[in-house]
Structure 1
Amino acid sequence: MCTFIINWEPGEQWPLLLAANRDELISRAWKKPARHWPDRPEVIAGHDDEAGGSWLGVNDHGVIAGILNRKNSLGPMPGKRSRGELVLEALDHADAVEAATAITHINEKAFRNFNMLILDNRDAFWLKKAGNDRVKCQPLPTGISMLAAQELNDMTSPRINHHLNKLRSIKTPNPELDDWGNWSNVLASRTCEVKEDPLTAMNIAPTSGFGTVSSSLIALPNDINQKPIWLFCEGTPDKNKFLPIYF
């Protein structure tokens, strides 16, 4: 039940802004983003200690890949590969077009359902695997979008229904000034979008063995000589600081 917020403005100084909350079993061990894979030295990503893959990462070519479970597909399943492998597969590529093309050609029967974002400073894609269908890929619309366990910008998602229009009406972050205030406040929100259902909050309290375990704020520059910005919060974003990940 993770959530992505995306601001896609191709051609701007910072064409891609991304905010993400990762919701997971508290007992599932992980490591914060770093160069964890000796055979993939160009990849900086969070490391899932259980399955060896990742949920979100960036490579030295400026490609971002992130993955979410779709509704009713939480956790592993016997006979299925970890969806975290797909993040690493995408980050093996030098641009978003190549990466998205590779993911659309996977054996869809090998994985549980997922939503996925693959992005660089020129192209941005939402990919989904739902049911027995092949992986479908479509370009992201410009402006602000949200993605959770359903469709892109799906108002049947309580989080998206509550936050999307508000996000579209407030000031977008300015990463050069380290001004992420509006978005970081949304990530930290404990408001239950469905009364008495804490799992509908953006920031899920870790009181039942499941909750928000980390958050990210990422900005991709238009200038290829400029490095991305990644601020990472280890723990719930209402109680922990965002600190830089160094490239």
Structure 2
Amino acid sequence: MCLILVAWHAHPDFPLVVAANRDEFHDRPSAPADYWPGHPDLLAGRDLRGGGTWLGITRGGRFAALTNFRGSEHLKPDGPSRGGLVTGFLTDSRTPDVYLDAVTPEASCYSGFNLLVSDGKTLGWLGNVGMHRRLLPPGIYGLSNALLDTPWPKVEQSKSALAAALHALPDCHPLFDLLRDDRTYSEEQLPRTGVDIAFEQLLSAAFVRSPVYGTRNSTVLIEDIRGKRLFLEQTWSPDGEPTKWRQFELSPIH
């Protein structure tokens, strides 16, 4: 994932709203969102190379998502797959605080990441670059390939668009519109993360479009106050055209 936007208890009728884009090399094999064999309560896409996922939910109300932290100095080529941290939480029963406490001692073994986890009652964040970990109060959050709420232009613009899109709920079109924003930003507005400046500018868009690397999936998740969750996923071709559409409705488990 390269852009995750979360409205956590920021709307009286929808306590959790997520809009996220997964950016990845187009030749990395993956499967679209579905219920997992062996874990029938787990709904997520699947990274067919690493075996984990970038974002998922469960019928019981657990949610987790992850972004990579950009920068070659944060890579651990021999480290475990970061997607396993998402799957680990979704197949666990511990609270976010306890789960993050358990994985923090080994977090430095992974390449740079940011992990968001929620059990429907609390929302936690762990970033292993600088070892940041906390439970998040109600609010609107933006996460790209740096620390939570780092004010990259696309993060700031997308957080503002999410705040506006909340007024249209349960209409999800504005959420997908903000994820489809392919504007790039000028060189003086860009962060310096160690990649070529032309690539940095390409990556500055919320929706990244290129033949080799770009936005592969756009996902919207909304949960209402009754616990009903709507999970929507649009996958994209290398030229930025829509391919598969997936829609799931999950009712709360009583």
Flag whether TM exceeds 0.5 (same fold). Answer: yes
Alignment of 1:72-91 (within 5 A): 72=71, 77-91=76-90
1:103 equivalent in structure 2: 103
Q: Give the TM-score, by structure 1 length.
A: 0.84
Name the structure 2 match of 1:64. 63
Q: How many residues align?
A: 235
> What percent of counterpart residues are identical?
25
**Contact preservation (8 Å) 1:158, 1:194:** no
Deviation at 1:47, TM superposition (A): 0.4
Deviates more, 1:188-197 or 1:44-53: 188-197
Is residue 202 from structure 1 mapped to residue 206 from structure 2 by the alignment? Answer: yes
Alignment of 1:223-238 (within 5 A): 223=226, 226-235=227-236
Q: 1:185 to 1:116 in 2, by over 3 A?
A: same
Deviation at 1:10, TM superposition (A): 6.9
Please tell me whether the aligned partners of residues 16 and 120 of structure 1 are also in contact (alpha carbons under 8 angstroms).
Answer: no
Aligned to 1:41: 40
* Separation (CA, whole Å) in 2 of partners of 1:75 and 1:37: 33
When residues 220 and 108 of structure 1 are mapped into structure 2, their CA distance, relative to the original with a 3 A threshold, is same
Give, in whole Å, the separation in 1 of the partners of 2:210 and 2:159: 24
> Deviation at 1:174?
5.0
Unaligned runs of 5+ in 1: none
Q: Which has the higher helix share?
A: 2
Task: Tell me by how many angstroms 1:167 deviates.
Answer: 3.7
Alpha-carbon distance between aligned partners in 2 of 1:82 and 1:173, rounded to the nearest angstrom: 37
**Partner residue in 1 for 2:32:** 32
What secondary structure is seen at the aligned counterpart in 2 of 1:33?
strand
Q: Which residue of 1 aligns with 2:8?
A: 8
- Name the counterpart of 2:154: 159
Cα separation, 2, equivalents of 1:184 and 1:48: 22
Match of 2:166 in 1: 172
Shift of 1:37: 3.8
1:103-126 deviations in Å (ceiling 9; x for gaps)? 334x12321110011123211112
Output the aligned Cα RMSD: 2.7
- Are residues 67 and 128 of structure 1, via their aligned partners in 2, closer, same or farther at CA, if it must alter by over 3 Å? same
2:182 aligned residue (190, 206, 210): 190
- TM-score when normalising by structure 2: 0.82
2:76–2:109 Cα contact (<8 Å) kept: no
Q: Are the aligned partners of 1:76 and 1:82 in contact in 2 as well (CA < 8 Å)?
A: no
Alpha-carbon distance, 1:13 to partner: 3.0
Confirm or deny: 8 A CA contact 1:35 1:45 kept in the other structure: yes
Partner of 1:148: 144
1:205-220 matches, within 5 Å, as 205-207=209-211, 209-220=212-223
